[in-house]
């Protein structure tokens, strides 16, 4: 850029030199000198024009390059903006999910505390019932032991009574038959006519006597 800018300065310097020369001096020059100076000035101008064209092409090339870079940067910027928007949406979604997770966590904690309190109450009730059942079981065991002792005592008394009343078994049977006979009578009095009476020796006689007895035969 700086080297391409030097020829215009040289052209300006040549023009300044010509402008500084007075007309009398120019008139003193010969035609060949004037033509030579003119050709040199024209050559310098053409060089300046060529350099200017080259400079403009370089500027246009760099401008086009910058435009391409700007377009690529715009594309990259657009892509980054899209990615940024996607990330924002994702962050919003994750934040909503986090809020929902916090609400669910609070609900679960509340449910856990309620369940724990309920379980503690139920466990306390069950422990109280278990204690009552243990007490009741102990009472039942004690009652069973008492009943067992009573049963053993009754068994001993029964065995004792059976051993003591073995000799008076016939009298007991006669009394039982008499009581049954007396209870079967209408008035509850003496034995009804025609009923049998146990005399204790295994035979039965009627109150009016039997027709087959020896006493009736003697009569």
Kindly list the domain boundaries of the chain, sorted by start residue: 11-161
pTM of the model: 0.37
- CB neighbour list of residue 9: distance below 8 Å, 6 or more residues apart: none
In angstroms, what CA-CA distances link 46 with 8, 30, 39, 57? Answer: 11, 24, 10, 16
The residue among 206, 143, 153, 197 whose CA lies nearest residue 175 is 197
Measure the CA–CA gap between 83 and 39, rounded to whole angstroms.
Answer: 64
Question: Three-class SS of residue 1?
Answer: coil
In tens digits, the chain (219 residues) has pLDDT values of 334 434 445 545 555 566 666 667 767 767 787 778 778 888 888 889 999 999 999 999 999 999 999 999 999 999 999 999 999 999 999 999 999 999 999 999 999 999 999 999 999 999 999 999 999 999 999 999 999 999 999 999 999 988 886 555 444 444 444 544 444 444 444 444 444 444 444 444 444 444 444 444 443
Q: Dihedrals φ, ψ of 73, to 5°? A: -65, -35
Q: Where in the chain does DSSP place strands (E)?
A: 196-198, 204-206
Cβ–Cβ < 8 Å for 134, 127: no
Measure the CA–CA gap between 95 and 89, rounded to whole angstroms.
Answer: 10
For residue 210, the tally of other CB atoms under 10 A from its CB is: 13
């Amino acid at each position: 850029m700086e080297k391409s800018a030097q020829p215009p300065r040289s052209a300006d310097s040549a023009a300044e030199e010509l402008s500084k020369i007075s007309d009398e001096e120019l008139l003193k020059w010969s035609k060949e000198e004037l033509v030579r100076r003119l050709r040199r000035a024209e050559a310098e101008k053409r060089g300046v024009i060529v350099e200017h064209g080259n400079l403009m092409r370089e500027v246009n090339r760099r401008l086009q390059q910058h435009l391409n870079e700007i377009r690529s940067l715009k594309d990259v910027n657009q892509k980054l903006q899209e990615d940024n928007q996607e990330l924002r949406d994702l962050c919003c979604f994750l934040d909503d999910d986090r809020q929902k997770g916090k609400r669910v966590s609070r609900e679960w904690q509340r449910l856990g505390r309620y369940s724990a309190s309920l379980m503690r109450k139920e466990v306390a009730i069950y422990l109280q019932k278990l204690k009552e059942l243990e007490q009741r079981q102990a009472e039942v065991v004690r009652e069973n032991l008492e009943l067992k002792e009573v049963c053993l005592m009754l068994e001993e008394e029964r065995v004792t009574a059976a051993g003591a009343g073995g000799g008076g078994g016939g009298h007991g049977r006669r009394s039982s038959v008499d009581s049954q006979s007396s209870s079967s009578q209408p008035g509850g009095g003496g034995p009804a006519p025609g009923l049998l009476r146990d005399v204790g020796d295994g035979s039965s006689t009627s109150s009016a006597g039997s027709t087959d007895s020896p006493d009736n035969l003697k009569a």
